[in-house]
């Protein structure tokens, strides 16, 4: 989950899935990843966005996991954030989806839709995360990201949302949308 979350940033899902598959086939654990040279890691993860940088970060991350965490992915947000290449979104994805620990991962879809639905009124993802934690019950945190991402990728599109197909349409204040931008 950690490798997939790191590779997924600024990369389409289908590209990420294939890159993760190739990399984990050759390096199923941090020790095996550390044995690969950077050029090999780059080849395995290409064409993910920023693959050169991510290859180096993945190698450093594996080294940190071995030396500081006895080869296991850390189970705390603070420890995850201390790993190279791990920001708040990645840390929260790993906690929620990988470890089953309540966390809200905020990406562009979650940020946009939470604001459009009127759940929050924020300008930055970090604000969105904090405010969602205050209004969404903790037992819903793990599932919030995949649900809003799916909605954002299929119906509540950035430019021309398909409001007529949305199950939340009757409840949605459509904040930030002009009538012209809503698909008929």
Residue ranges of domains in the chain: 2-99, 108-181
Average pLDDT over residues 4-22: 96
**CATH code assigned to 108-181:** 1.10.1670.10
Catalytic residue, chosen from 25, 60, 89, 131, is 89
pLDDT digits (tens, 9 = 90+) for 68-104: 999 999 999 999 999 999 999 999 999 999 999 999 9
Q: How far apart are CA 45 and CA 17, in angstroms?
A: 10
**CATH code assigned to 2-99:** 1.10.340.30
pLDDT digits (tens, 9 = 90+) for 99-112: 999 999 999 999 99
Is 89 labeled as catalytic in the residue annotation? yes
Other CB atoms within a 10 A radius of the CB of residue 25 amount to: 9
- Residues 6 or more apart whose CB falls under 8 angstroms from that of 13 comprise none
Give the tokens for residue 131.
């405010």
2-99 matches 108-181 in fold: no
**Whether residue 5 has pLDDT greater than 80:** yes
- Residues 6 or more apart whose CB falls under 8 angstroms from that of 108 comprise 125, 152
Specify the pLDDT at position 184: 54
Q: How far apart are CA 110 and CA 182, in angstroms?
A: 19
Percent of the chain with pLDDT strictly greater than 90: 95
Angle between helix 51-69 and helix 38-45 axes, rounded to 10 deg: 120
CA dihedral defined by 5, 138, 154, 152, rounded to 10 degrees? -80
Considering the chain, what is the average pLDDT of its residues? 96
Is this structure's pTM higher than 0.75? Answer: yes
């Amino acid at each position: 989950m950690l490798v997939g979350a790191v590779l997924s940033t600024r990369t389409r899902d289908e590209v990420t899935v294939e890159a993760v598959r190739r990399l984990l086939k050759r390096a199923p654990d941090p020790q095996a990843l550390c044995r690969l040279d950077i050029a090999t890691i780059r080849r395995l993860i290409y064409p993910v966005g920023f693959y050169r940088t991510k290859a180096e970060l993945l190698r450093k991350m594996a080294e940190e996991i071995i030396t500081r965490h006895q080869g296991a992915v850390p189970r705390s947000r603070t420890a995850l954030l201390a790993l190279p290449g791990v920001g708040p979104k990645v840390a929260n994805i790993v906690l929620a989806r990988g470890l089953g620990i309540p966390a809200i991962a905020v990406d562009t879809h979650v940020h946009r839709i939470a604001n459009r639905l009127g759940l929050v009124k924020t300008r930055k993802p970090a604000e969105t995360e904090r405010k969602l934690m205050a209004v969404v019950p903790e037992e819903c945190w793990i599932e919030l990201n995949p649900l809003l991402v799916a909605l954002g990728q299929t119906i509540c599109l950035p430019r021309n949302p398909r409001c007529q197909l949305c199950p939340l349409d009757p409840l949605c204040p459509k904040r930030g949308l002009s009538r012209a931008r809503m698909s008929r």
